[in-house]
Amino acid sequence: YTRYGHMQNVRVNVGERVRRGQQIGEIGNGGGRYVPHLHYDVVQTAVLETSPGDWPGMNLNRLLRDYVDPLRFTRENRPPR
């Protein structure tokens, strides 16, 4: 599962297959509450399926159990151009 936080103008639906380079939305600012930025989470368990707002905070054991490094995941799973 992946999660994109603080997005606006989302252009895809949950479960929809996307292509490399396809714009799926725009980086948002939380309704003016934050500097524009994006949270990109990759999980290796079903925690986001049952709790989409889950965040382990400073719980390192939960972080290591449920989440993976998104940069590493992307590099290892990127389809060829």
Q: Are 26 and 9 in contact (CB under 8 A)?
A: yes
Q: How many CA atoms lie within 13 A of 52 on its CB side?
A: 4
Q: Are 32 and 60 in contact (CB under 8 A)?
A: no
Q: How confident is the model at residue 11 (pLDDT cuts 50, 70, 90)?
A: very high
d(CA 64, CA 71) in angstroms, rounded, equals: 15
Instruction: Give the model confidence (pLDDT) of 14-52 as tens digits.
Output: 889 988 889 999 999 888 888 999 989 999 999 998 998
Amino acid 81: pLDDT: 76
What kind and span of H or E run contains 48?
Answer: helix 47-50
- Three-class SS of residue 70? helix
